[in-house]
Amino acid sequence: MAHRRHPLLTLAFVLLLVLTGAGFRPAVAQDQIELRVWDQFTDQAASDTADAIYKGFMDQNPNIKITRESYSTDDMRKTVNTAISSGTGPDVIFYDAGLGFAGVLAQAGLLIPLDDMAKQYGWTDKIAPTALEGTMLGGKLYGLPLQVDLIGLYYNKTLMDKEGLTVPTTVADLASFCTQAKDKGYIPLALSDNPGWQAGHQFSMVTNNMLGPDAMKALLFQNQGSWDSPEVTQAINAYFVQLRDAGCFSDDVNALTNDDAVSLFQAGQSLMYPTGSWQANSFTPDNMPDMDVQFMSFPELEGGQGSFWVSGVGSAWYITSSSQRQQEAGQFLDYLFSPESAQKWVGDAKFYVPMSVDTSGLDLTPLQTFILGELDKASTGEIKLGYNIDVIAPPEFNDTMTNGFQQMLAGDKTAEQQAADLQAAWAANWQPLFQASPAASPAP
């Protein structure tokens, strides 16, 4: 006898499958523990490196299966809050360390503090304390930073020598350099400000040089000082008015993307390029044959405290509070910071990890070796690092930076107005909870 199919039942079954996504989950053997990991490694080299490191962990721990999902930064930002708060998120996430990102999750109790695990695995002994500061909230450690970068000024020494131009050491020198370079047909600095985060890094450089890292730290973490002080206003004026008027930037600076800026510098149309060490991979001998590219901290300002690298943590590893596998997640994090993993992050993905790495045998350019050397000097206290503002400040402040500096570059806003707006955004949104590190922690 033929069975009569009930359409409603079939429909309900199909709907159930679709809604639960049960049909799409990868199979995990019954004796295996699944660890769901979300990361942001969409670039091929970084993605391949992550795959190799995850595989290494699974080989060492056959009872753990890592299910990896890789998201672009924008996609992750859209998804992560709701996914984790609804319990459908990952066990481990590699996410932006800023207060507007991981900070929001930590405040909502969606990430667990890692202090106990840090003691258990000795993370605080091997990861640079200055980097760990960037992932602390209210004195508790929430994340393990994988990348630490330096922000400064790349320059094409070969072309500058050819044109008889010297490396500027002060902002006044830089303005004079810009005038000469422009007369010779160059766009002196390959600054771009589309979509706008780039100007925040420039602001970080001049403000750190003006106030010095200690005062900067006090302002960012303890709210001591203000953004509309004469010193900060002078720093804003120096970069966004003096250098703009000296012809340092393209007239279309707000239209240029970071890729455009890289192209200008690679093609030798620009002599300098102000950005971070993450861009060093673009200036290898393959990309710029016969060109000696060097990297320096931003020149000193008149009345300032010196010339400092700006440093900051971009993204870090976190464990979610909804994870049922927190112990295994801790094991995984420890493996990510093992000496063999660190070598892969540095050698293959070209990351600057905040820990001591044996670089012998790694395929690094002189520029990359120089950057690693500077970071080493910072970790031993030989040099002080400044603070990258946008990974520490509240999102409302970052929004004011983005839009305000675009207006300044377009000539529509003064340094005084921008300084006042920044202070207003800071005063309205800074909270003591945002204190990222204990007041007593040593300056980098």
Partner 1 sequence: MIILAVQSVTSTRTRSQRLSKHWVTYRAGYIFVLPSLVLYAIFMIYPFLQSIYLSFTDWNGATAVKNWVGLDNYRQLFDDSLLWKSLWHNLIWIAIGTIAPLAIGFLLAVLLSSRPKGFTVFRTVYFLPQVLSTVIIGLVWGWIYNPIFGLLNTFLDSIGLDSWSRGWLGDTTWALYAVLAAAIWATIGFVFVIFLAGLQNVSRDLLEAATLDGANGWRRFWDVTVPQMANVITVVAALLLIGGFSVFDIIFVMTGGGPANSTEVIATYAYTEAFTQNHVGYASTLTLVMTVITLVASVIFIRLRERGGEE
> For residues 181 and 166, what is the distance between their CA atoms, to the nearest angstrom?
11
Interaction residues for partner 1, span 236-255 (CB under 8 A): 250-255
Among residues 356, 407, 417, 435, the one that binds partner 1 under rule CB under 8 A: 407
Among residues 193, 328, 374, 390, the one that binds partner 1 under rule CB under 8 A: 193
Of 306 and 395, the one with the shorter C-beta distance to partner 1 is 395
Asked if 185 touches partner 1 (CB under 8 A), the answer is no
Q: How far is the CB of 407 from partner 1 (least distance, A)?
A: 4
3-state secondary structure of 67: strand
Asked if 418 touches partner 1 (CB under 8 A), the answer is no
Residue 48 in tokens? 């391949």
Q: How far is the CB of 29 from partner 1 (least distance, A)?
A: 33
Site size for partner 1, by CB under 8 A?
42
Of 305 and 320, the one with the shorter C-beta distance to partner 1 is 320
3-state secondary structure of 178: helix
Angle 362-368-374 (CA atoms, 0-180°, nearest 5)?
115
Asked if 315 touches partner 1 (CB under 8 A), the answer is no
Contact segment (CB under 8 A) with partner 1 among 75-83, 176-184, 227-235, 366-374 equals: 75-83
Q: How far is the CB of 325 from partner 1 (least distance, A)?
A: 21
CB 53 within 8 A of CB 344: yes
DSSP-derived secondary structure for 122-154? THHHHB-HHHHHTTEETTEE--EE--EEEEEEE
Contact segment (CB under 8 A) with partner 1 among 63-71, 116-124, 211-219, 407-415 equals: 407-415
Return the sign of the alpha-carbon dihedral for residues 84, 86, 88, 91. positive
Q: Show the DSSP H helices in 282-365 as ranges.
A: 326-336, 339-347
Asked if 414 touches partner 1 (CB under 8 A), the answer is no
> For residues 429 and 273, what is the distance between their CA atoms, to the nearest angstrom?
32
Asked if 402 touches partner 1 (CB under 8 A), the answer is yes
Distances (CA, A) of 50 to 47, 96, 341, 372: 5, 17, 9, 21
Contact segment (CB under 8 A) with partner 1 among 79-87, 125-133, 291-299, 306-314 equals: 79-87
Of 104 and 364, the one with the shorter C-beta distance to partner 1 is 104
- Residue 250's H or E segment, with its range, is none
List b or e across 419-435, with b for residues whose CB sees 16 or more CB atoms inside 10 angstroms. Answer: bbbbbebbeebbeeebb
Among residues 62, 122, 195, 438, the one that binds partner 1 under rule CB under 8 A: 195
Q: How far is the CB of 104 from partner 1 (least distance, A)?
A: 5
Among residues 32, 61, 85, 326, the one that binds partner 1 under rule CB under 8 A: 85
Asked if 400 touches partner 1 (CB under 8 A), the answer is no
Number of H helices, E strands in the chain: 19, 13
Asked if 176 touches partner 1 (CB under 8 A), the answer is no
Asked if 403 touches partner 1 (CB under 8 A), the answer is yes
Phi and psi torsions of 341, nearest 5°: -70, -40
Of 228 and 421, the one with the shorter C-beta distance to partner 1 is 421
Residue 435 in tokens? 């204190």
Of 174 and 253, the one with the shorter C-beta distance to partner 1 is 253
Q: What share of the chain is helix, strand, coil (3-state, %, to 5)?
A: 50, 15, 35
Among residues 16, 17, 45, 108, the one that binds partner 1 under rule CB under 8 A: 108
Provide the β-strand partners of residue 385: 309
Site string for partner 1, 353-392 (x = CB under 8 A): ----------------------------------------
Angle 439-441-444 (CA atoms, 0-180°, nearest 5)?
125
Asked if 107 touches partner 1 (CB under 8 A), the answer is yes
Nearest by Cα to 63 from 25, 30, 91:
30
Provide the β-strand partners of residue 93: 38, 318
Asked if 258 touches partner 1 (CB under 8 A), the answer is no
3-state secondary structure of 243: helix
Among residues 1, 2, 8, 440, the one that binds partner 1 under rule CB under 8 A: 8
Of 30 and 86, the one with the shorter C-beta distance to partner 1 is 86
> For residues 377 and 383, what is the distance between their CA atoms, to the nearest angstrom?
6
Contacts with partner 1 by CB under 8 A lie at 7-8, 11, 15, 19, 77-78, 81-82, 84-85, 100, 104-105, 107-110, 193-196, 250-256, 260, 263-264, 395-396, 399, 402-404, 406-407, 410, 412
